[in-house]
């Protein structure tokens, strides 16, 4: 009969390992069952970290889930630095649209968005996660402005929405596909929209 791993306690290295184990378990459970089905008890069982430790490190389930997904998405959709605005947008969009190949991830994202609309307490950590993804584009646009590819007074919020707006709309509504092969064309159109006033 299989037994659960012993709870991990004590020591800086063990604490770091336990922290990573909890985040890994949280992402896995989120993408296999959704936010509603995820429990701290389930995370404790899967990670081998004591439930009391998890509660001590994270105030709420929402805080835990969004920290886990912040780390996960930073790995899956890293900040690109190809040397050109078009190259950066293409790389970012390609990684974003790759969710089409992972239905469980797409379902998890839809569930998180829905939960954020229904639960005001969850909305705060969700929006904090969204802000980390917007900051990636702020870095991209900042480098492009420094290279002279974009105007220094760019409307950063609108420019960011040009990328993430279509992504979320297609993910949630499903009226059009999210295809990584479309990334170069979409990136070119976004760049044209951002630089049109300078023509």
Are 104 and 186 in a shared domain? yes
- Domain containing residue 146: CATH number: 1.10.357.10
Are 91 and 186 in a shared domain? yes
- pLDDT by 10-residue block (mean), the chain, 199 residues: 44 78 98 96 97 95 97 96 98 97 96 96 96 97 96 94 97 96 98 78
Are 45 and 82 in a shared domain? no
Are 23 and 101 in a shared domain? no
Task: For residue 172, give its domain range.
Answer: 77-198
Please give, one letter per residue, the 3-state secondary structure of 133-152.
HHHHHHHHHHHHHHCCCCCC
Euclidean distance between the first and final Cα of the chain, in Å?
Answer: 70
Are 53 and 83 in a shared domain? no
Which of 16, 12, 10, 18 has the alpha carbon at shortest distance from 47?
18
Work out how many domains the chain is built from and give that number.
Answer: 2
What pLDDT is stored for residue 80 in this prediction?
A: 97
Q: Answer yes or no: is 72 within a domain.
A: no
Q: Answer yes or no: is 68 within a domain.
A: no
Q: Answer yes or no: is 111 within a domain.
A: yes
Please give, one letter per residue, the 3-state secondary structure of the chain.
CCCCCCCCCCCHHHHHHHHHHHHHHHHHHHHHHCCCCCCHHHHHHHHCCCHHHHHHHCCCHHHHHHHHHHHHHHHHCCCCCCCCHHHHHHHHHHHHHHHHHCHHHHHHHHHHHHHHHHCHHHHHHHHHHHHHHHHHHHHHHHHHHHCCCCCCCCCHHHHHHHHHHHHHHHHHHCCCCCCHHHHHHHHHHHHHHHHHHHC
Q: What is the pLDDT of residues 162-176, one digit of tens each?
A: 999 999 999 999 999
Q: Answer yes or no: is 134 within a domain.
A: yes
């Amino acid at each position: 009969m299989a037994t659960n791993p012993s709870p991990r306690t004590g020591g800086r290295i063990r604490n770091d390992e336990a922290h990573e184990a909890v985040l890994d378990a949280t992402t896995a459970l989120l993408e296999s069952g959704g936010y509603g089905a995820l429990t701290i008890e389930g995370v404790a069982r899967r990670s081998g970290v004591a439930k009391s430790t998890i509660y001590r490190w994270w105030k709420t389930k929402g805080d835990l889930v969004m920290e886990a997904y912040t780390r996960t998405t930073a790995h899956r959709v890293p900040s690109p630095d190809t040397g050109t605005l078009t190259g950066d947008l293409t790389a970012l969009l390609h990684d974003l649209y790759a969710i089409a190949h992972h239905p469980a991830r797409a379902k998890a994202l839809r569930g998180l968005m829905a939960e954020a609309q229904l639960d005001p307490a969850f909305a705060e950590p969700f929006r904090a996660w969204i802000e980390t993804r917007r900051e990636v584009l702020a870095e991209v646009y900042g480098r492009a402005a420094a290279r002279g590819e974009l105007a220094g007074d760019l409307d950063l919020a609108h420019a960011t929405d040009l990328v993430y707006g279509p992504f979320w709309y297609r993910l949630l509504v499903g009226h059009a596909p999210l295809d990584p092969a479309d990334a170069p064309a979409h990136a070119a159109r976004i760049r044209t929209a951002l630089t049109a006033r300078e023509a």
